[in-house]
Amino acid sequence: MIIGVLNQKGGVGKTTLSINLAAIFSRNGARVLLIDADPQGSALDWAAARNEEPLFSVIGLPRATIHKEINQIAKGYDYVIIDSPPRVTDLARSAIMASDLILIPVQPSPYDIWAADEIIKLINEALIYKQNLKSAFVINRKILNTAIGRDVREALEVYSVPSFKASITQRVIFAESAAQGKAVCEIDEKSLATKEIKAVVKEIMEFLK
């Protein structure tokens, strides 16, 4: 299973979501590969900051040939997660064509909702060639007890892509864990952040059935 985490808008938390999803899949017993397709290399930086044994493999592949190489690269892995860059359209197209499922992290702000149009257009282009491609929004960096946090799912209904019920709240533990090269589940297995990531993983599994 190949999951692309994409949004043409920057700063929506693609790397944080990718890393923490990979960690839960790995903790569940799966063999996981995280592909850092962002020229900035944030996931590679995260892996380099880690002192413990790796939970999963991380490689850098910031080039628009992912879809051509993915069958070879993915051999032996149960899940491959592609952390994609913003604004690099050829690379984004390649990541989409390589994926079975596209997760679109979106922050609860009008700007993010409007900007989602760009990635939806790329997905619709890919559907011409890859009719079984699935996609879904994941509300990320939600601020608790705000109207926009509650209303964002309704606002996203203008698109033909469903939104997951599970969402991720903005929490300090995400930054604290990243600085140590760890996932939130390693910092605190019982934290609300870990529960939210697990809920997204559960919904991915249900969505793919």
| pLDDT tens, residue by residue, 139-184 | 999 887 777 766 888 889 899 999 999 999 999 999 999 999 999 9
Pick from 35, 32, 4, 2: nearest CA to 138: 4
Q: Exposed, middle or buried: residue 60 (CB in 10 Å: 0-12, 13-18, 19+)?
A: middle
Q: Is the pLDDT of residue 60 over 80?
A: yes
**Average confidence (pLDDT) over 198-205:** 98
**Average confidence (pLDDT) over 51-77:** 96
Which residues touch 80 (CB under 8 Å, ≥6 apart)? 1, 2, 3, 32, 33, 34, 35, 70, 73, 74
Q: What is the pLDDT of residue 6?
A: 95
The pLDDT confidence band at residue 109, using thresholds 50, 70 and 90, is confident
Q: What is the pLDDT of residue 121?
A: 94
Tokens of 35: 């592909």
Q: What is the pLDDT of residue 86?
A: 86
- Tens of pLDDT, residue by residue over 11-53, are 889 999 999 999 999 999 999 999 999 999 999 999 999 999 9
Dihedral of the alpha carbons of 65, 69, 73, 79, in degrees to the nearest 10: 70
Residue whose pair of structure tokens reads 């009008």 in the numeric block: 110
Nearest-angstrom CA–CA distance, 96 and 105: 14
Percent of the chain having pLDDT more than 90? 82
Nearest-angstrom CA–CA distance, 78 and 80: 7
Q: What is the pLDDT of residue 153?
A: 85
CATH topology of domain 2-207: Rossmann fold (3.40.50)
Please tell me the pTM assigned to this model: 0.95
Distances (CA, A) of 23 to 29, 48, 121, 146, 153: 10, 16, 30, 29, 26
**Average confidence (pLDDT) over 183-198:** 97
Please state, rounded to an integer, the average pLDDT across all residues of the chain.
94
Q: What is the pLDDT of residue 64?
A: 95
> Would you give the DSSP letter of residue 169?
B
**Average confidence (pLDDT) over 116-130:** 94
3-state SS assignment for residue 137: strand
